[in-house]
A and B are shown apart, each in its own frame.
Chain A
Amino acid sequence: MKKALRFIRSMRFGILLLVLIALCSVVGSLIPQDKAVSWYAQNYGSLHGVILMLRLHRIFQSWYFIALLVLLCLNLTLCSLVRIVSVVRDRRRVVARTAALPDQVRLSAEGVQRLRRHLEDIRCRRETIGEAEVYRKNAVGRYGSFLIHLSILLVVLFGAAALYLPQVVDRTCLPGESVVMDDGTEISVDAFHIEDVTGRLDYSSRIRIRLPDGRNSEWVDIRVNHPLAFGSWKVYQQTYGTAGSVTVTNLADGGSDDFTLTDTALLSLDGASGLWYEAVYPDYLLDPSGNMTLVTSTTGRYEHPVYQVLLASDGNLRPILVFPGEELEAGGLRFRFNEPIEYPGLRIKRTPTVINALLIASFVLMLVGLYIAFFMPPVLIKTDAEGYAVGGLKPEGMRIKLDELLQEYRREE
């Protein structure tokens, strides 16, 4: 048992886990994830059985990948505990231990003086123990490695919570309408614009959140990178769409109504004659003989919108292309085609805000740990009348620096 525990907290096991996680990640990046089963059958032929059996198509959610992460957490926890215990226990002993080191480099009396002056210049603290003078600096550097390991553990834990705890739904909402969530929270969209006033692509929605307790957010413009957070809700500008807009007038009584159409629909009095709405296209191309080809848009701009509809009368369907401003009549109705309406697709997320705050605090802790570990290495140097020795956990850098310093002294002499 002791042997197993020692292995689980060992650096060797940690490295093994990291390598396995990296290998799974390579596979997960090369095999497209979360596609339909038929997609793998189509693209990988006979290999698709292996992919599905080993869950390589959902590798980051597979039991073995999650097991690797759990084992990494275990390794980090045990390794952090052992590390902090030994660092705290040894914090007083290191100075005495350094003072007891035999000289690694012999120096003349003048050399020792120059070295001591240099160490004082770089703001090392001096402690006299018997014959030896121990210079030390950056004691905090001893905690860097512990902080890094602890913060990685926290990032994995809070990261998993931030990934799996939130409720996320995607909704489209026409301007002037609202989306009501399960708890009664209401998200209203006032307007949506693809371009800003300068004509630059912007994809911005003006929205407001009303919580069930009656509290309202301000009306806020959200766009990519600028979501609205209110209460435990966060609303993102995610996608966009364009709906057809048709004013329908009953020729018999003169009554009219506006329809906003996002999907195919039949506008009819009797269910047979009238207008089949199919789609609205952003633009078209005309060839020299006057034939029109409808084109789609990647930006969402509708430069020259065209409606594609079917006129239904006497059991016949006649395809027609119509421009905004034009009118058609069928089945006792008049259809006036208006400029299309742009609408947003919103991503609505409910998340415990404390999780995000803890995750970001873990990020900061990790950066602090890395900075301390790499850029504030603890300095422990023992000097006596005949030379010096470098002690501590990471003596290498200081040894090289002092070697260079001595070479400089020798050149000067």
Chain B
Amino acid sequence: MRTLFIVTIILYAAAVILQFTGTAFKKERLLKLSWLVFLAAFAVHLLFTIVRGVAAKRIPLSNQFEFANAFAWGVALMLIVIRRRLKADWLSVAAMPMALLILTYAALQPMEIRDLMPALRSAWFGIHIGSAVLSYAAFVLAGSVGLRYVLLARRNGAEEESRLRQMDYLSYRLVAFGFLFLTVVILSGAIWAEQAWSAFWTWDPKEVWALITWIIYAVYLHLRLRGKRRGAAMAWYLVVAVPVVLFTFAGVNTLLPGLHSYG
């Protein structure tokens, strides 16, 4: 199983290197090859996740390693869907390294399979954590789109203008998607907390940081409603928000122990 994981990382790394080389030297063939390697990495990644789930006899989302693994897979899945549906090839250069980065973080975590602890044996487990994977992946991709926007906005041209508009709208859609699922995370977590700990809300650090993340993206959605607050400023906002998402995901568990410290 470890071999599958290592192969996944190697393939993602190869895809990223090919992507950067292809972009730097404007080689279309390298970019196409990069995408094929990325698809292969995604397939192996999926296989690894399934094999691990079968071995653990549960959804593999119970610790930092498994969540980071699923998080990276979520980013890759969304990149594939967006590229296919919107023909947004430009997203790869920012999104592929994100998937690789998150998977590298997973590689640094203890990988052994453990029994699900009693507190996690609940029907809400899959909904709560699965939604977090989708939500964080959408926010990270929105940040990637924001980064691409900021880089592209330096050029001035009619073609760029149209693409910038598309990017701005795509990041809004990603944030909307992520926001809906983050709300599912918080609300399902509240119902689960009432079942497990007797209170819907305990101001546990993980809950608090999920709320902070929710507020950050709620503010984005409101600012964007105000007509003039679009473009580069909002793209920067999304880029700056990504570390908050990553802190909510990994930093809180590492630095602020609480009821969610399941290892």
Contact surface of A with B, Cβ cutoff 8 Å: 11, 14-15, 18-19, 21-22, 25-26, 28-30, 33, 60, 159, 162-163, 166, 168, 200-203, 223-227, 234, 236, 238, 347, 349, 356, 359-360, 363, 366-367, 370-371, 374-375, 396-397, 400, 403
Known contacts A15-B219, A226-B195, A227-B195: A159-B200 contact under CB 8 Å: yes
- The answer to whether B179 touches A374, judged by C-beta atoms less than 8 angstroms apart, is yes
Contact surface of B with A, Cβ cutoff 8 Å: 115, 117-119, 121-122, 162, 165-166, 169, 172-173, 176-177, 179-180, 183-184, 187, 190-192, 194-201, 203, 205, 208-209, 211-212, 215-216, 218-219, 222-223, 225-226, 252, 256
CB distance from B132 to the nearest CB of A (A): 15
Interface contacts (Cβ under 8 Å), in number, total 105
Add 9 more A-B contacts to A201-B117, A225-B118, A227-B195 (CB < 8 A): A14-B222, A19-B215, A25-B211, A162-B199, A200-B115, A356-B194, A363-B190, A375-B176, A400-B165
The contact of B184 among A22, A367, A400, by CB within 8 Å, is A367
Residues of A contacting B256 in the complex (Cβ-Cβ under 8 angstroms):
29-30
- The answer to whether B117 touches A366, judged by C-beta atoms less than 8 angstroms apart, is no
- The answer to whether A29 touches B179, judged by C-beta atoms less than 8 angstroms apart, is no
- The answer to whether A18 touches B211, judged by C-beta atoms less than 8 angstroms apart, is no
- The answer to whether B218 touches A18, judged by C-beta atoms less than 8 angstroms apart, is yes
- The answer to whether A18 touches B215, judged by C-beta atoms less than 8 angstroms apart, is yes
> SS class of chain B's interface: helix, strand, loop or mixed?
helix
Docked Cα-Cα span, A238 to B259, in Å, equals 13
Known contacts A18-B215, A202-B118, A367-B187: A347-B198 contact under CB 8 Å: yes
Residues of B contacting A25 in the complex (Cβ-Cβ under 8 angstroms):
208-209, 211-212, 215
Residues of A contacting B119 in the complex (Cβ-Cβ under 8 angstroms):
224-225
- The answer to whether B183 touches A367, judged by C-beta atoms less than 8 angstroms apart, is yes
CB distance from A248 to the nearest CB of B (A): 36
Residues of B contacting A60 in the complex (Cβ-Cβ under 8 angstroms):
203
14 A–B pairs (Cβ distance < 8 Å), ordered by A: A11-B225, A11-B226, A14-B222, A15-B223, A22-B211, A29-B252, A162-B194, A224-B118, A225-B122, A347-B198, A366-B187, A370-B179, A396-B169, A400-B165
Docked Cα-Cα span, A223 to B176, in Å, equals 37
Docked Cα-Cα span, A203 to B117, in Å, equals 11
- The answer to whether A22 touches B200, judged by C-beta atoms less than 8 angstroms apart, is no
Residues of B contacting A227 in the complex (Cβ-Cβ under 8 angstroms):
195, 198
Docked Cα-Cα span, A370 to B117, in Å, equals 33
